[in-house]
């Protein structure tokens, strides 16, 4: 939570150095804010986007993309606009019907989680203001709910915003919580969405990572995009265990099995199948992989020209892309040999 007593860079540095994680940052919520305390809120609040822009030159680009809430929102919108994209089993079971669609991303009571505050009130989540409890815990520690009143209140909440939602281009990709916006929301047009997409796609800072696709005729292009040198190798933060494991296993494949829709099982999708889930036991598949197929143990020492390179234990494990291309010389061996 950003506020006037901390800084974005300090929080990021603390989380990365102590936990090797990128934190999810948010601004102070103004849900249920009293007008008499707004001046205190304004003094304490920090705008996340403004803080990111000010710190842009001091944050790794990949970290920046994970921190920027606009990117996260855009990814969610694109994901929801694409058919057959689900984040969990609950979404897979839901069928969107415009005639019964509940406006906004606001959770319906008891559909996701519950939060009990210090005063024994039960809320939809920890971000919703104290004015909208679902119920309370009585002196006997028994939850108490008035379900009829809840239904009436929530129908009233949704009715307040529904007319705006029907005009909004984001009706099925909404990321707005009613309770955080005090039941106010500005409709989003198709033109607004198009401008947002254009801004990010034309800005190289946001879209400067490209993943080449090998067609069989663009080998030089793929090599140019994926090549690396000693500086890249030595810039890695490798501990003793990582170096040791790269001599024995392939970290891209080890412990993983891919099962295709037809039931075929692979330890590497660009190698031969290990069997079929309908006719082979997983136990036997794993045993075969460990003793015969051995893609899990495909290291740089087993392919040329890596096997003759003195730096092969420092290089990343062999990838599917290299196997698909049948090419393992993405480094500049000539410059390495002089060292």
Query: Are 235 and 267 part of one and the same domain?
Result: no
Residue 121 belongs to a domain: no
Choose between 29 and 10: higher pLDDT: 10
The string of DSSP codes covering 112-137 is S--EE-TTSEEESSTTS-TT--SEEE
Q: In 153-183, which positions are buried (b, 16+ CB within 10 angstroms) versus exposed (e)?
A: ebeebbeebeebbeebbbbebbebbbbeeee
pLDDT of residue 203: 67
Instruction: Please compute the mean of the pLDDT values over residues 284-309 and round it to a whole number.
Output: 89
Q: Which residue, 39, 67, 95, sits at the end of a domain?
A: 67
CA 173-176-177 angle, to 5 degrees, is 130
Does residue 222 fall inside a structural domain? yes
Could you read off the pLDDT of 201-252 as tens digits, one per residue? 676 555 555 677 888 899 998 888 888 888 888 888 788 888 888 899 999 9
312 and 248 belong to one structural domain:
yes
Domain that holds residue 59: 1-67
Q: What is the DSSP-derived secondary structure letter of residue 107? A: P
Summarize the confidence of residues 107-133 as an average pLDDT.
Answer: 84
283 and 242 together in one domain = no
Q: With bands split at pLDDT 50, 70 and 90, how would you rate the model's confidence at 40?
A: very high
Supply φ then ψ for residue 15, to 5 degrees. -65, -40
Which of left, alpha, beta for 299 (phi over 0: left; psi -120 to 50: alpha)?
Answer: beta
What's the mean pLDDT in 281-293?
A: 88
Residue 5 lies in a domain: yes
pTM of the predicted model as reported, rounded to 2 decimal places: 0.51
Total domains present in the chain? 3
At 32 the pLDDT is 72
Q: In terms of domains, do 282 and 335 share one? A: no
Share of the chain above pLDDT 70, in %: 88
Task: Tell which residue, 333, 336, 329, has the closest CA to residue 222.
Answer: 329
Per-residue pLDDT band at 187 (split at 50, 70, 90): confident
């Amino acid at each position: 939570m950003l506020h006037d007593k901390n800084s974005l860079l300090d929080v990021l540095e603390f989380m990365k150095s102590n936990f090797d994680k990128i934190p999810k940052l948010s601004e102070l919520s103004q849900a249920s804010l009293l007008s008499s305390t707004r001046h205190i809120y304004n003094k304490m609040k920090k705008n996340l986007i403004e803080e990111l822009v000010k710190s842009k030159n001091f944050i790794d680009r990949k970290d920046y993309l994970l921190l920027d809430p606009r990117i996260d929102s855009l990814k969610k919108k694109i994901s929801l606009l694409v058919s057959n994209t689900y984040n969990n089993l609950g979404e897979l079971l839901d069928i969107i019907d415009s005639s019964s669609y509940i406006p906004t991303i606001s959770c319906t009571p008891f559909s996701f989680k519950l939060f009990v505050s210090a005063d024994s009130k039960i809320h939809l989540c920890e971000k919703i203001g104290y004015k909208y409890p679902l119920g309370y815990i009585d002196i006997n520690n028994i939850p108490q709910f008035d379900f009829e009143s809840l239904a009436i209140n929530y129908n009233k909440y949704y009715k307040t915003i529904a007319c705006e939602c029907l005009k909004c281009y984001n009706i099925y990709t909404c990321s707005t919580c009613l309770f955080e916006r005090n039941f106010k929301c500005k409709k989003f047009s198709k033109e607004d969405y198009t401008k947002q997409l254009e801004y990010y796609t034309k800005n190289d800072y946001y879209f400067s990572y490209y993943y080449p696709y090998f067609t069989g005729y663009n080998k030089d292009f793929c090599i140019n995009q994926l090549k690396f040198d000693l500086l890249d190798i030595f810039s890695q933060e490798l501990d003793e265990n990582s170096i040791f494991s790269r001599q024995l296993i392939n970290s891209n494949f080890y412990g993983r099995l891919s099962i295709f829709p037809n039931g075929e099982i692979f330890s590497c999708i660009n190698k031969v199948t290990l069997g079929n889930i309908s006719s082979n036991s997983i136990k036997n598949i794993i045993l075969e992989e460990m003793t015969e197929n051995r893609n899990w143990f495909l290291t740089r020492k087993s392919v040329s020209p890596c096997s003759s390179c003195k730096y092969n234990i420092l290089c990343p494990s062999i990838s599917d892309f290299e196997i698909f291309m049948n090419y393992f010389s993405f480094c500049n061996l000539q410059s390495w040999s002089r060292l």
